[in-house]
Amino acid sequence: MKHLITTAALAMAAATPALSETWTMTSTWPSSLELIEIDKHWVDLANKLVDDDKLTIEFYDGGSLVPAGEVFGAVESGTIQAGADWPGYWAGRNSAFSPLSTTASLFNAVDYVNWIQEWGGADLYNEVYGQFGMVYLPYGVTNNESGFRTVSQPIRTLDDLQGLRLRLSGLEQGKLLEKLGGNQVSMAGGEIYQSLERGVIDGAEFSTPNVDFSGGFQQVTQYWSTPGWHQSSSVFGVMINKGSWDALDEETQERLKIAADATMLWSLSFTERRATEAYAQFQEAGTEITRLDDEALERVQQLANETITEVACENPMSAKVYASQLTYLQEYSTWRDASAPFNLGRTPNGPDLAAIQACAE
């Protein structure tokens, strides 16, 4: 009798479904900035792909749970299970986060997709985030950022950068701007509008045209200098607490990865379409739009290469990431250049690979 009861109990336990996991997720982006649409797209797709009895992700707009700068710590500590971000915000913790988020005059959006998917980039995200007890799924990519928007002083040449106080994110980006005579001012995206309006800064960069327009920058700036040489592309994704990730079964983990891959492709086409629409909106708003000439961009490239090498060689992990990216560019250049003019972007004359590889050892 005792054996029958034990057998029945085991059978009931085996038939009982595991309790569903519920994750709390927030973002570094407030609801007013269009970048949050990438986060929402991944959450919606993940919730559709994953069975309800396995996992449900509850998403909260940036700032509603913790300030943007505290999202990293909240995920690391397990206070929340997931947080959407732009990796460059954490470069103060490890400078390797910088090339995981963007590059100065190096990668375009397709380069990041290629590198992440097929040239080992995904493993490096997890190696760096793994040092902080997190798993990372890159799921968003945008092409080069708008450039600089200024209140009353247009930037038509590099000389026009002299002495300007410009809001700018990024470790390498700030050092590069200083070499060009400008001054980096760091602040959260939600503070840019008021800082421009009050004259705290002379100008700012933030994101792609559509995101900038959603931030209302056309209301407080008159001039727009393109292209976005400081951030030739950007990557976004989700930080996941390692303990929370490990609690999922392999099938659920795989479905979250599939949602990330699908969202990345969607994000590129979505933001390029929206950037095109926003470009016209800035024109209609009366913004003067100018482009730096090729000679100026070549000068920027030279200084960017110098800056990347300096920063990479201060941290072996940063050098490892850059060396991987430069190896990809070198290998891909054979086919990319051979298929011009129908290729996917340029092969930049970037930093010396051997010099950076030496710093990674």
Dihedral sign (CA 339, 341, 344, 350)? positive
Could you tell me the pTM of the whole model?
0.91
Percent of the chain with pLDDT over 90: 92
Under 8 Å CB-to-CB from 11, ≥6 apart: which residues? none
On whether the CB atoms of residues 141 and 109 are closer than 8 A, the answer is yes
Q: What is the mean pLDDT of the chain?
A: 93
Question: What are 162's two structure tokens?
Answer: 């002299």
Asked if residue 2 has pLDDT above 50, the reply is no
Positions at the binding site for substrate:
145, 167, 205, 231
Provide CB contacts within 8 A for 308, sequence distance 6+. 103, 104, 106, 172, 322, 350, 351, 356
Residue 128, Cβ neighbours under 10 Å: how many? 24
Express each pLDDT in 278-302 by its tens digit: 999 999 999 999 999 999 999 999 9
Average pLDDT over every residue of 36-62 = 97
What are 30's two structure tokens? 């407030």
Place of tokens 């949602």: 259
Q: Is 70 exceeded by the pLDDT of residue 10?
A: no
SS3 (DSSP) at 339: coil
Q: In the predicted model, what is the mean pLDDT of residues 97-115?
A: 97
Q: Which among 141, 128, 136, 135 is positioned nearest to 95, based on CA atoms?
A: 128
Ramachandran region, residue 347 (left: φ > 0; alpha: ψ -120 to 50; beta: rest): beta
pLDDT band at 190 (very low <50, low <70, confident <90, very high): confident
Mean pLDDT of all residues in 221-242: 97
DSSP H helices, the chain, are 2-15, 36-49, 71-77, 97-101, 109-118, 121-130, 171-179, 192-197, 209-214, 242-246, 250-284, 294-312, 316-338, 353-360
Angle at 79 between CA 75 and CA 82, to 5 degrees: 40
Q: What is the DSSP letter of 79?
A: S
Tokens matching residue 31: 């609801």
What is the percent of the chain with per-residue pLDDT over 70, rounded to a whole number?
95
Give CA–CA dist 328/113, Å, rounded: 11
Given a cut of 70, whether residue 101 has pLDDT beyond it is yes
SS3 159: helix
Q: What is the pLDDT of residue 8?
A: 40
The kind and range of the H/E element at 166 are strand 165-167
Q: Is the four-CA dihedral 314, 177, 112, 59 of positive or negative sign? A: positive
Binding residues are 145, 167, 205-206, 231
pLDDT for residue 26: 98
Report helix, strand and coil shares of the chain as percent, to nearest 5: 50, 15, 30
Per-residue pLDDT band for 20 (boundaries 50, 70, 90) equals confident
Q: Can you say which residues are annotated as belonging to the binding site for Na(+)?
A: 206
β-partners of residue 224 are 149, 289
Q: Which residue has the higher pLDDT, 18 or 238?
A: 238
Mean pLDDT over 179-195 rounds to 92
Averaged pLDDT, 59-80 = 97
Which among 259, 325, 316 has a CA at the least distance from the CA of 119?
325
Closest of 230, 246, 277 to residue 88, by C-alpha = 230
Considering the segment(s) 18-144+233-275 as one domain, its CATH architecture is 3-Layer(aba) Sandwich (3.40)
- Per-residue confidence (pLDDT) for residue 361, from 0 to 100: 83
